[in-house]
Structure 1
Amino acid sequence: MGGRYPLLTDFSQATGLQTHGIRISRNSCFTQFEIPMAPPAPMPFQYMTLKPGCNAVDAGVVLANINEGYAGNAPDLGPYELGKKLPHYGPRSKLFSDGFENP
């Protein structure tokens, strides 16, 4: 099962893994992908959002209670849906949906 595989299809056929996987290009798919130095250097914070036209857009499948709120014809691959507002982590000054204020 080990070895190198020049194509994703070669890998899938040999291992039975990633049978629905697709190959993407970081340069044409991500809006931001900055790697300042080789690992283990610290990485700057960045959202790995997709560019329109990337083959990862609308390439996913619906997962119950996970990604039903997609924006296009199908969910996007990756953590963020193209066209949707990015999540906000950390303290908020507005009221929560239950009416309580965030301290």
Structure 2
Amino acid sequence: MHFRTDGRGQQVVAWEISPGAWKMAWIQDRNGTDKDWAGTGLYLNVVRTEGPNSGPGGNATDFPIGKHMQGVPQKQILATFVLTVSTMCGLDVSLAASGN
């Protein structure tokens, strides 16, 4: 997993789901906007990307982050998401975790 912050200061993780195939996820703050459709303020977004330092490719899917989870460090939320999704999909978790 490759962690960084983007130009908006949002926490981002990129991981290789198989050799040469990458995904990225980030936490987006939508508090006080009309895009806060679930009323939680924070959303986890996921999309494909070209690599660990590339931008999003395609349309992101968003998941509202429950208010009870908003005290958890964003890096922890993202890492848990990556490992859980990778495990559920039968992907190489060691590849995602190592960042190689």
Structure having greater relative contact order (Cα 8 Å, sep ≥ 6) = 2
Greater per-residue helix proportion = 2
- Report TM bin, short chain: under 0.3
Give 1 or 2 for the bigger CA radius of gyration: 1
TM-score, length basis structure 1: 0.22
* TM-score (norm: length of structure 2): 0.22
